[in-house]
Amino acid sequence: MKQKTSVLFLFCLLLAFSLQAQGQTQIIAHRGYWQTEGSAQNSIRALELADEIRVYGSEFDVHLTADNVAVIFHDDTIQGIAIQSATYDEIKDLTLANGEKLPTLQEYLEKGKTLTHTRLIFELKPHQTPERNQEAARTVVEIVDRMGLKDRTEYITFDMDAGKEFIRVAPEAAVAYLRGDVAPAELKALGYTGLDYHYNVMLEHPEWFEEAREAGLTINVWTVNDPEIIRQMVMSGVDYITTDIPEEAAAIAAHPVTTIENI
């Protein structure tokens, strides 16, 4: 019994060292830290709260209105109005679930500028045409750069045209692709710095963990809300986990070994 215990201890120690060697998985609050009193998805308050809990990053979603105002919201429509075909004036007074006014990118980044910790994980939502996707990417990079937040912003997108435009106009920025349909080596050749795929995509392509590492790409997985899968992803050595339960995920990432049950 004693021998079994010490073998187990040694195993845990080795595992802990190997995880440390790879670097600890960092946590990204999906749409900010919104599952808490007074917050709401993609609200400025959710960004503040993500900063308060000191996770690596806070993710948010951006659309351009028809008259080119960048606003923060996840869905294509807000209260029945299609954001990308509306003018800003038509949607500017709509509110989020916590009573906040729909934030513009400008307002959101103004708050971001006052925060000291969280990185801004900027998801540009797909727009109607390849040209519009490229234009949207150029527009938002210009705003981020003008606000002096170039060094704290990382771009993610499902849209390949937008992704390529980010790589072209923000060559020093981290840019990751979300759709999950491109192999790591190909992403690397296109100039991406990371992949940001649904965790099921990575489970279906276990060889992509190694391929991404060999290519020097970062690995981010979304949106992992099951503690058991969070633990599994941490053990796989992913760089980032995007989650709606950032505090719990951070605790698991800090101590994945001690939380293993029934070894």
Interaction site with Mg ion (CB under 5 A): 61, 123
Least CB distance from residue 210 to Mg ion, whole Å? 27
Least CB distance from residue 61 to Mg ion, whole Å? 4
Least CB distance from residue 157 to Mg ion, whole Å? 10
Nearer to Mg ion, 55 or 215 (CB): 55
The CB-nearest residue to Mg ion is 123
Nearer to Mg ion, 193 or 211 (CB): 193
Nearer to Mg ion, 193 or 242 (CB): 242
Nearer to Mg ion, 61 or 165 (CB): 61
Q: What's the CA gap between 143 and 137, in Å, rounded?
A: 10
Least CB distance from residue 31 to Mg ion, whole Å? 6
Least CB distance from residue 229 to Mg ion, whole Å? 18
Closest CA to 154 of 199, 146, 163, 66: 163
Nearer to Mg ion, 22 or 223 (CB): 223
